[in-house]
Structure 1
Amino acid sequence: MRIWLILAALGGLLAVGFGAFGAHGVTDPKAREWLQTGTLYAFVHCLAVFASARVKAPLAPPLFLSGVLVFSGSLYAMALGAPRILGAITPIGGLLFLAGWLMLGRGAWKPQA
């Protein structure tokens, strides 16, 4: 679990950077929107990794962080000039987030030892 917590902290760090860049370094409204959305989802799901450690849900962190990579990463890439077709994979990140939340709920449901 420790590696997931470290990766989540790194994800939070990157989210701050992309959020600041979106707020201060981007003039295109669509790029700014993508950066804001990617940052919000990255923050929420990096924090969810820490909740996963608390409720002992070991399958949730890789799902959440993979979702951050695919969902937020594709939005960040498009904001930085990647082709818009990359947006076709963004929903895969959303599915990974949903699976992570299911695993977090499952971990919370199980009696804790």
Structure 2
Amino acid sequence: IEARDRREEWLDCARENRNAAGLDDEIAIVEADAREAALDADCVVTNLPFGVRVDEDLRDLYAAFADRLVEGSVDRAVALTTKPEFLPLEPVERYDIPYGRLDAAIVVYEPWG
């Protein structure tokens, strides 16, 4: 299992949680930007930015991430998001859920097969 984020503060939190769970040998934590990093995995599971603490255009971020999925070697992607319409892919499954005070969705993609 590999966990990725581009912000050091979230990488530190992930390391703390991994270590507390005793999973040091099972989970690698890597600094990477989802808009640029190559993807090679059976399944990608992500909590995409909701736009609450992000000052960039989510459409551009989601589109670049979708490009990495399609270009990579990924069989399935599962995303938690408040903006599933920003991902230029057709989901094979969608589950609308409340997420605190936000309306969110869990969407499943198999866009390349």
Give the structure with the larger helix fraction. Answer: 1
Scaled by the length of structure 2, the TM-score of the pair is: 0.23
**1 or 2 for the larger relative contact order (CA 8 Å, sep ≥6)?**
1
Scaled by the length of structure 1, the TM-score of the pair is: 0.23
